[in-house]
Structure 1
Amino acid sequence: MTAIEIPAGMPQYEDMPRLDPRELRADFPILARQVNGQPMVYLDSANTSQKPQQVIDAMSDHLLRHNANVARSVHTLGTEATEAYEGARAKVAAFIGAASADEVVFTKNATEAINLVAHAFTPDAADPRFRLGPGDEVVISEMEHHSNIVPWQMLCDRAGATLRWFGVTDTGRLDFDNFDDLVNERTKIVSYTYVSNVLGTVNPTSAITARAHEVGALVMLDASQAVPHRAVDVAELEVDFIAFTGHKMCGPTGIGVLWGRSELLNAMPPFLGGGSMIETVTMERSTFAAAPARFEAGTPPITEAVGLGAAVDYLTSVGMDAIAWHEKELTAYALDVLAGVPGLRLFGPAVPVGRGGTLSFALEGIHPHDVGQVLDSLGVQVRVGHHCARPLCVRFGVPAMTRASFYLHTTVEEVDALARGLEQVRKVFG
């Protein structure tokens, strides 16, 4: 394995936890396949992560031996399914430091989790913290994924409120120049990304949370790019909500998580009506169950929850600190390697401090779709486009970007393969 050189000024902690990505690769069957006759180099984990055999086996075993609906039956299979489903909830709660498993709501993805919170805000909400109307403001940032822009735009349109946002500096950090004006007594909620899915920027939390709570606003973090890559403790963050998704953290698609403080969740109205979210139903009216059940109408993603629980077990066994440190070293190496590619423009922080292992870039005079096609012909899998963050592309004056993103199984040899591939792209397009 090529030695990773840590840039000057970056701490070199001899006692930091370590992992060997080559050993971990054996857990991911798909990484052994070829693409276009070449060994596959998977650099698209920010889009969706690959699944270890342990997760695949857990889901398969559940379907083979324990498949039934949850919370509806007293028979053996129903009991086993319910225990597995609620067991997964408890694992997720422990993984993020929740005070109780009841603070974990299963959704189908992070997008649904954010929409769930947005729909709690109405002009006539019973709880004043969720009362939003003309004169009130919602604050997001310019670097958000569309899933953390569109729901708030729709909310402000419904309620007559105003949407405001943090700008982004040329170096890919949040712009705090007008911080005190932006987050003010009219602000009802601040919702922003913990780690950017495009820039890799790790955003600060303590100052924003303190200011928001000072003016009586709630705080929500889109943690989809954080929870899979670093230890996240909601008690330490002191925010009110976080959202993340299973398929970016070695788990399956079709399941996401909303964590919220218990008293807030129970002050919120249901998002969907139907079975399992009720307390009583008559022909005249219904009353609703306490959280999290009130937000999980209908048959939930049971097998997917089992898979997510297995993913939590897997990541815990590897160690989140080891994963974070591996990605920090790998990012330092990649930043150094890509700096040597002629005509490459990197978007986001140019140093491996306060950033994750997601690198977006452009090659001068070459469209990202062309970059992606040539790389794919060499077996290198990257994402191209606006990455569901079109306002950010507009901010940096480009129609699209190429993005390479790393995870616990990524090696320096794969970073080298990316660099060689970019050299080939330049040769093909002159």
Structure 2
Amino acid sequence: MTGGSTRYVNLDFAASAPALTAVADRVADFLPSYSSVHRGAGYASMVSTAAYEAARRRIGEFVGARADDVVQIVRNTTDAFGLLASAVPDWGPGSVVHLDLEHHANLLPWQALGSRVVAARETVADTLAALEQELARKPAALLAVTGASNVTGEVLPLAELTAIAHRHGARIAVDGAQLVPHRRIDLGSLDLDYLAFSGHKLYAPYGAGVLIGRRDWLDAAPPYVAGGGAVRRVTVTRTTWADAPARHEGGTPNVVGAVALAAACEALAGLPDGALERHESTLRTRLADGLGGIDGVRLLELWSGEVDVVGLVTFVVDGYPAELVAHYLSAEHGIGVRDGRFCAHPLLDRLNEGRTAVRASLGLGSSGSDVDRLLDGVRELVDAGPRWTYGADGLPAPDPRPLPPL
């Protein structure tokens, strides 16, 4: 153990992405004008209100929201689906249908409603057929699906899924947390009913996310957060609630987070068409091929070669717990990855018998040298093992790396 230093390689974008410079600059420019929104007559309040509502419009435009869609500012994707779960009409047990590969954000709210789970099949075609059969067997109010798996990176065929849902009288909600940062999506052209995503995965880690979609369910739902701003009129015995989005944004909203998220959307929208996809595809292929060529390394995939894949790869190394692999890559090679079950326990049960795995994920700032650093580190682990000593918790023992004062 040397205690030396090296350039940090961030390969954990799928968990949380750092703020873009354009986002941080926008926030810094806005902060001197920050104030309360919607009910203040002061100049700063008017500026903040205008910025908040402009951010709402820009976020909606980025994903092709329809003119009558609600852009609901929430905390993150988990919060978005918590809100939507309160708005789904009660068709009795099984009102919501979803696959077994979902992130917990798009599983736990529906599980609490008694959802029906369809197991992903060996092929995409068979999976779609199983969903169609289940919706035909018993109607549902909602089909909830991931846009791109946070474990395998595989992109689900949203156009086909939407057609299946609508053919059987169901609406569709898409978890876009892993899809929106990597692929452009258009609610209108895809005819999606609801889309949720998080700012912290879209280079805007300021505590805001969104739920975007059809107004009627949100207007009829009980207020998600009861408080000031969510009402039209209050007496000591009765409250008349506002329509969405105000209905579900009681209290002081996260204006800074909304401004940051809108800035990230603008930055990504300004990239040349296809540039992000080409960049990620090149790096992801290099990463997957490199890991696949190392003896004892296995990639976790559902439908290898059948679908588009965003920039992440999840893998296991024979003979080494995922926690140790992740700590080794950090301590000895300066690489940040993610280990665990990625809040997708049922999918890890399918793909790795419930054991943890390692995920390397790419983003806008990733480079070929980042990928090569990871490949070299994994090869060195397989060939020679770790150089440092690691404790039962997986951490280096002792750990010479100082933490910053904060």
The TM-score, its normalising length taken from structure 1, stands at 0.84
For residue 26 of structure 1, what is the aligned residue in structure 2? none
Letter in 2 for 1:375: L
Q: How many angstroms does 1:286 deviate by?
A: 1.2
SS at match of 2:313: strand
1:49 equivalent in alignment to 2:7: no
Contact map agreement 2:69 2:213 (CA 8 A) in 1: no
Task: Find the aligned partners of 1:408 and 1:172 in 2 and give their Cα distance.
Answer: 29
Task: Find the aligned partners of 2:225 and 2:140 in 1 and give their Cα distance.
Answer: 26
Contact map agreement 1:174 1:203 (CA 8 A) in 2: no
Task: Find the aligned partners of 1:108 and 1:287 in 2 and give their Cα distance.
Answer: 25
For residue 41 of structure 2, what is the aligned residue in structure 1? 74
Letter in 2 for 1:178: A
Q: Which runs of 5+ in 1 are unaligned?
A: 1-34, 122-129, 157-162
Task: Find the aligned partners of 1:428 and 1:262 in 2 and give their Cα distance.
Answer: 56
Deviations 1:77-109 (A, max 9, x none): 100111111111111011011123862000011
SS at match of 1:231: coil
Q: How many angstroms does 1:177 deviate by?
A: 4.8
Q: How many angstroms does 1:268 deviate by?
A: 3.0
Task: Find the aligned partners of 2:309 and 2:286 in 1 and give their Cα distance.
Answer: 13
For residue 265 of structure 2, what is the aligned residue in structure 1? 312
Letter in 1 for 2:237: E
Counterparts in 2 of 1:178 and 1:102: CA distance versus 1, 3 Å: closer
Contact map agreement 1:141 1:192 (CA 8 A) in 2: yes
Letter in 2 for 1:38: T
Q: How many angstroms does 1:132 deviate by?
A: 2.6
Matched residues, percent identical?
35
Counterparts in 2 of 1:309 and 1:166: CA distance versus 1, 3 Å: same
Task: Find the aligned partners of 2:234 and 2:109 in 1 and give their Cα distance.
Answer: 30
For residue 357 of structure 1, what is the aligned residue in structure 2? 311
Deviations 1:362-399 (A, max 9, x none): 01111100100110021111000001111111112141
Q: How many angstroms does 1:168 deviate by?
A: 2.9
For residue 127 of structure 2, what is the aligned residue in structure 1? 175
1:326 equivalent in alignment to 2:285: no
1:138 equivalent in alignment to 2:91: no
Task: Find the aligned partners of 1:182 and 1:353 in 2 and give their Cα distance.
Answer: 23
For residue 262 of structure 1, what is the aligned residue in structure 2? 215
For residue 127 of structure 1, what is the aligned residue in structure 2? none
- CA RMSD across the alignment: 2.1
Q: How many angstroms does 1:253 deviate by?
A: 3.6
Letter in 1 for 2:380: Q
Counterparts in 2 of 1:296 and 1:102: CA distance versus 1, 3 Å: farther
> In the alignment, which of 242, 246, 249 is matched to residue 199 of structure 2?
246
Task: Find the aligned partners of 2:380 and 2:160 in 1 and give their Cα distance.
Answer: 45
SS at match of 1:318: coil
1:391 equivalent in alignment to 2:350: no
Q: How many angstroms does 1:211 deviate by?
A: 1.9
Q: Which runs of 5+ in 2 are unaligned?
A: 388-406
1:216 equivalent in alignment to 2:183: no
Contact map agreement 2:16 2:205 (CA 8 A) in 1: no
Contact map agreement 1:41 1:381 (CA 8 A) in 2: yes
For residue 416 of structure 1, what is the aligned residue in structure 2? 372
Q: How many angstroms does 1:204 deviate by?
A: 1.0
Contact map agreement 1:166 1:176 (CA 8 A) in 2: no
Deviations 1:36-57 (A, max 9, x none): 6111111000001111222112
